[in-house]
């Protein structure tokens, strides 16, 4: 594996780090809030808005498992895989797999292993210190505020008390899974620079997924009248 140089770091990763640092600074400047009410009732579902002051119930072990499975094998993840790996197959990247159906299958399977590893690491590590990986829609109706909420929950997560804190498990899982996957990827895409590039795309993918969760229900309601 080649020696790491700063010049190898993709611009997208640098951009992602700046956003993460900014979000962490926001946590430090956040004013004190009144004591949260005693948790009661079932936890809020990720498809419904929730106020920062709403009762919060920590995610269970079973829900963590479901989150990891849904994030890997859910319809959205599978469809994204079809789109991205079709492009990679058309470009014959990596070249070892070839531009044919067999190559597409190998690329699709390789993507699934990476996504599964990342989700498993995030869910497992988060369970140790009580980090909740779920995305919860904003209770604000203003587009600007909701967009800010998407960015905030890309780099933060709730702890056992329901307070937003930097999503450390996610910070570890995305680059960690990509560097780990270098051990079983094709030689042409198993370098440090490749892992960093995939990590950058992983952060952007998380951001895009949160935006989908935030705005798609409204679009579906207006377009499909559901």
pLDDT at 226: 60
Q: Is residue 47 part of a domain?
A: no
Please give the tally of structural domains in the chain. Answer: 1
Compute how many other C-beta atoms are within 10 angstroms of the C-beta atom of residue 23: 18
Q: Is residue 23 part of a domain?
A: no
Q: Is residue 166 part of a domain?
A: yes
pLDDT one-digit tens code per residue, 143-178: 999 999 999 999 999 999 889 999 999 999 999 999
Q: Is residue 80 part of a domain?
A: yes
Q: Is residue 92 part of a domain?
A: yes
Compute how many other C-beta atoms are within 10 angstroms of the C-beta atom of residue 210: 20
Q: Is residue 14 part of a domain?
A: no
Q: Which residues of the chain have pLDDT under 50?
A: 1-50, 52-53
What's the domain range around 79? 58-224
Q: Is residue 203 part of a domain?
A: yes
Q: Is residue 40 part of a domain?
A: no
Residues 6+ positions from 138 with CB-CB distance below 8 Å: 49, 145, 146, 149, 214
């Amino acid at each position: 594996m080649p020696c790491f140089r700063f010049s190898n770091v993709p611009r997208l990763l640098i951009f992602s780090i700046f956003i993460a640092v900014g979000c962490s600074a926001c946590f430090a400047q956040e004013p004190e809030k009144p004591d949260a009410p005693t948790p009661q009732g079932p936890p809020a579902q990720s498809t419904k808005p929730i106020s920062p002051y709403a009762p919060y119930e920590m995610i269970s072990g079973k829900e963590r498992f479901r989150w990891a499975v849904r994030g890997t094998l859910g319809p959205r993840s599978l469809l994204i895989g079809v789109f991205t790996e079709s492009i990679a197959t058309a470009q014959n990247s990596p070249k070892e797999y070839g531009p044919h159906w067999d190559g597409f299958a190998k690329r699709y399977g390789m993507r699934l292993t990476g996504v599964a590893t990342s989700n498993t690491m995030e869910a497992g590590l988060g369970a140790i210190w009580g980090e909740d990986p779920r995305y919860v829609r904003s209770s604000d109706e203003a587009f600007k505020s909701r967009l800010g909420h998407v960015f905030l929950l890309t780099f933060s997560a709730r702890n056992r008390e329901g307070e937003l804190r930097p999503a450390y498990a996610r910070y570890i899982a995305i680059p960690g899974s990509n560097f780990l996957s270098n051990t079983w990827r094709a030689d042409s895409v198993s370098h440090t620079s490749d892992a960093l590039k995939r990590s950058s795309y992983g952060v952007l993918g998380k951001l895009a997924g949160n935006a989908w969760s935030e705005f798609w229900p409204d679009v579906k309601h207006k377009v499909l009248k559901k």
